Chains A and B, each alone.
Chain A
Amino acid sequence: MEKKDCKILIIDDETELSKVLGDILKSDGYTDIEYADNLKKGREKIDSTQIHLILLDVMLGDGNGFDFYEELKRVGIFPKLPVIFLSARDEDEDRLHGLGLGADDYITKPFLPKELLLRIGAVLRRCYSLDENTSDIILGESRVSIDGGIVKKNGDVITLTAKELALFSILYRNRGRIVTTDMLCEELWPDGSFGLENSLIVHMRHLREKIEKDPSKPIFLKTVRGLGYKMEKI
């Protein structure tokens, strides 16, 4: 499944905010976006079309997002339909309440578009095995295919190991942003990552050898000293 196949429903009574949310999503490759400015309309949309993800405001004119979420859960639309709460309240209790109900994420307003897209992407990936990039990623002389798990460099085809591919995917999704070693280790070794920083360094070195022209002077896969790694924005 690709981004353009995902139908995202935005339920928010602030139409200006819904509109800009839609623009942000479209700029990232999503095409199918539905809007509802109250719960009633949202209910109708959910009943009439196949929705893949809901961005749900907590306080709406005709009710409360938390209650609506529970209602959806009761009628059995879940477990498959992911919901991300969007709220102007950052009270910890609210956040915990939302996540405690089983929501996939809770984002407070005002949000940074980058952050929002990352989190939506993460939820979709988890629920639908979203293919974010079917085309090759061009990094200088290297073409990386995440689908194929291979790098084409100067006519050679080099296979990436599972860990290298995972590492590359995370950095690619977060391109332009620093990803800390802690986060990388956690993603790579979800069962316990403590003390695996050295393994991470080794994987990183191999990844660079396969992608970078000069692995000791990386252009794309940068080290951010003391913090982690970053893929330069391409």
Chain B
Amino acid sequence: MRKSPERRLQFILWVLVFAIAILFVDFIICMAVMYKSSDINYTDASDIMDSLSYNSGEYILSDEESTQLQKNNEFAFLLDSTGNITWSENMPESLKKSKYTLQDVAKFTRYYLDDYPVRTYIVSEDRLLIVGKLNADIWKYTLEYDANNVLTFLEITPVLFIFNIILFIFVSIRMYKARQRRIEEERVEWIAGVSHDIRTPLAVILGNAQMIPKESSIDEIKRKSEIIESQGLRIRALVENLNITSKLDFGTKRFEKTKVFLSVLIRKIVSNTINSLDIDAQYKYDFELNIDDEMQKYEVLLNEELFERAVVNILNNTIRHNPDGCQVYINLYKENKKTILEIGDSGIGVSAEILQRLNQNAYAETKSVGKHGLGLKIVKKVAAFHRWKVRFYNGEDVGFVCRMEIK
């Protein structure tokens, strides 16, 4: 499953827009929460001062305001310039000191007055009004901030933003890939299941088809049973190719590589292919194996199953497209220190258009399953798996050639 570049771009743009949107929403939510929660209510200082009347050397707070303070669980007092309490309301006994020093004032202005959170107001030139809460958990900090740092913060914002986007893209891609992988695994299992279910009836068909000629002497019946057999074998190859494609494309299965003698393996594969042909076909196709002497004991690290599939597919391709027979040659030799495996025939060859398509790098990924369909695609996939180069071309005069550069 490869995505087209447009789809990829679309995906990235979508992620970008989404990231910005999320960041924006986050910001708004954060501000709202902070604004809402930072709302600590003290009784308004001006309200207190307004309801405070000075009468014959004594301050008197209106009843209304007094109950308000009670209700809010607050206390309030006035300090004069010498540090004496000139008025107090609702004040805890422990705070009723005869004199508040400058140090005391400095302390409670910033922090707490004996653990009570307080606010200090300058109500006139020689008086301070202090309003405190009797039982409340309030954190107080003195905020000091270098104004220049705001600039640094502004500088950091884009970095932060980009980091966010990268994180977002990374997470979503991971999730997307995990999902894709799960779907692909399911597909592999599904294909494996289907091919499993096809195998048993196919075994019955092939078995019976091969028994018919032994039980009948009528030529027409023999011929027809041979057709059933050869078509059954075609289905078998198809099922195997399908299975192997899905495993190569999406499978989690690892294809183990082992060291094998290339010449021995090729002889085995070619013999098996010839042996599976019927007698007539064995005479129609003339197989020629040319393995250089120095290649006889040449070992290669490869996956046998895949390699066999690739070679069988090339041979089957030749046989299917040249039903009247042809020469088939398999050459294994060294060229400029490279190992070359050439499988070619003297058959009808293929059109330039198909050749061009076959040699496209992306051919293995294209969707078309035409006449030169799955079989040669697997050849390309197998070559890609081993990191070998593979090329298809027409022979000088006749035929079709597949050339593999084996590492």
Contact = CB atoms under 8 A, between A and B. Distances in A.
Interface of A: 14, 16-17, 20-21, 23-24, 27, 88-92, 108-114, 176-183, 194, 224-228, 233
B199 A226 contact: no
B45 interface: no
Contacts of B270: 227
A110 B288 contact: no
When A and B form their complex, which 10 residue pairs have the shortest distance between CB atoms, in order from nearest?
Answer: A226-B289, A20-B207, A110-B203, A88-B199, A109-B203, A178-B271, A110-B202, A177-B275, A109-B199, A180-B267
Contacts of A109: 199-200, 202-203
Contact of B267 (A16, A20, A108, A181): A181
A226 B210 contact: no
Nearest to A177: B275
A14 B200 contact: yes
Contact of B207 (A23, A181, A225): A23
Nearest to B243: A90
Contacts of A111: 203, 206-207
A88 B194 CA distance: 11
Tell me if A's interface is mostly helix, strand, loop or mixed: mixed
A118 B290 CA distance: 29
Contacts of B204: 14, 16-17, 20
Contacts of B391: none
Contacts of A92: 305
Interface string B228-245: 000010001000100100
Contacts of A177: 271, 275
B267 A24 contact: no
Nearest to B297: A194
B287 A227 contact: yes
A228 B276 contact: no
A20 B199 contact: no
Contact of A180 (B268, B276, B287, B305): B268
Contacts of B305: 92
B326 interface: no
B271 A180 contact: yes
B211 A227 contact: no
Contact of A110 (B199, B264, B275): B199
B196 interface: yes
A110 B232 contact: yes
Nearest to B263: A182
Interface in B327-350: none
B291 interface: yes
24 contacts: A14-B200, A17-B203, A17-B204, A20-B204, A88-B197, A89-B196, A90-B240, A91-B192, A109-B202, A110-B202, A110-B205, A110-B206, A110-B236, A112-B210, A177-B271, A180-B267, A180-B268, A182-B264, A224-B274, A226-B287, A227-B267, A227-B270, A227-B274, A227-B287
B214 interface: yes
B279 interface: yes
B208 interface: yes
Nearest to A180: B267
Contact of A88 (B200, B207, B210, B289): B200
Interface string B185-204: 00000001000110110111
Given A88-B196, A92-B305, A227-B289, A113 B267 contact: no
Interface of B: 192, 196-197, 199-200, 202-208, 210-211, 214, 232, 236, 240, 243, 264, 267-268, 270-271, 274-276, 279, 287-291, 297, 305
B279 A108 contact: no
Contacts of B232: 110
B126 to A, nearest CB: 94
Contacts of A176: 279
A20 B209 CA distance: 10
A112 to B, nearest CB: 7
Given A110-B203, A180-B268, A181-B267, A24 B211 contact: yes
B291 A226 contact: yes
Given A180-B271, A181-B267, A182-B267, A225 B208 contact: no
B199 A179 contact: no
Contacts of B202: 109-110
Given A109-B200, A109-B203, A27 B267 contact: no
Contacts of A181: 267
B271 A112 contact: no
Given A110-B232, A112-B276, A17 B271 contact: no
Nearest to A116: B207
A222 to B, nearest CB: 11
B292 to A, nearest CB: 12
B242 to A, nearest CB: 12
Given A111-B203, A227-B271, A20 B211 contact: yes
Nearest to A182: B264
B200 A17 contact: yes
Contacts of A224: 271, 274
A10 to B, nearest CB: 12
A226 B207 contact: no
A175 to B, nearest CB: 11
Contacts of A14: 200, 204
B279 A113 contact: no
Nearest to B202: A110
Contacts of B268: 180, 182-183
A178 B270 CA distance: 10
Contacts of A88: 196-197, 199-200, 203
